[in-house]
Amino acid sequence: MDTTIIYNKNNFTSSIHSKLAEINIDYLEKHSQIKKANAQGASHLEAGVVVLINYIEKTKNPGYVFQVIKRSSKVTQGGDISCPGGMLHPSVDNFFSIFFKTGLIPAMRGIKHKYRDKNLLPLIRLFLANSLREAWEEIGLNPYNVSFLGALPTYSLSSFTRTIYPLVCLTRSPFKYKLNSEVEKVVEIPLSFFFESSNYAWLQVTTPEGENAYAETSRFPCMAIPDEKGDCDILWGATFHIITNFLNIIFDKQLPVPPADRIFKKIITENYLTGGR
């Protein structure tokens, strides 16, 4: 697919619908595995996140952007860029998922996907309810202001016993962000950034002596996003993987490879893993 479609307000979302309808979604298998493991004493957490896109018109360069958050120092992984969302609360989120089934919240109304296994739909509704509930709490996103475009495969974190269920959604109209204490700011990343090799880099991650988040220095691909202070916010890890996987699916092409000589450094502290708790 031609990447210039990201500037086409109407055709791009239709293309997302079509592309995401073609991929296999592993929610049933993953959810079943986690449920069995937890029944045997494990404490594996599940989290729904919304990969939120919005069309920005009133700028010099109109086009689609990702609406992501920068986590505050009060939560785990403080300072990281994440998709809005958070931990599944089964009883609460099962209740809210009923509203998607009845159509009282129209996010899934008119969806073009025809999932092969009808047992998958309740799980998609569950994690959509989960992710949008969290997005409402974190940034004030009204679930009535959202259209569901499709699901992405799960992603399991290596440093936490946690699996992420990503749902791609469109913000129907602009809204005023209302941030809670878990969010430092909202970052809007133009989709066009991901097709420019100059925006990519490597993140060198280390831990101070005595802390064991990583056994040794590791390098991860990342994206450097210029901020309002002349510095950069770094997109890496799970969110980097989820977003780039989404773009690879939609455009049937590999994104640029980070240049070997552009390296940022990050030290993982105990506070990063615990959120100061």
Architecture of domain 3-195: Alpha-Beta Complex (3.90)
Contact (Cβ atoms closer than 8 angstroms) between residue 49 and residue 85: yes
Provide the token pair at 68.
């992501």
CA separation for the pair 228, 185 (Å, rounded) = 11
Per-residue pLDDT of the chain (277 residues; tens, 9 = 90+): 788 888 888 899 999 988 998 899 999 999 999 999 999 999 999 999 999 999 998 767 789 999 999 999 888 888 899 999 999 999 999 999 999 888 888 888 766 455 667 789 899 999 999 999 999 999 999 999 999 999 999 999 876 789 999 999 999 998 999 999 999 999 999 999 999 999 999 999 887 655 554 445 689 999 999 988 888 999 999 999 999 999 999 998 789 999 999 999 988 877 777 765 4
Contact (Cβ atoms closer than 8 angstroms) between residue 61 and residue 193: no
Which class for 112: exposed (0-12), middle (13-18), buried (19 or more C-beta within 10 A)?
exposed
Domain ranges in the chain are 3-195
CA separation for the pair 176, 56 (Å, rounded) = 14
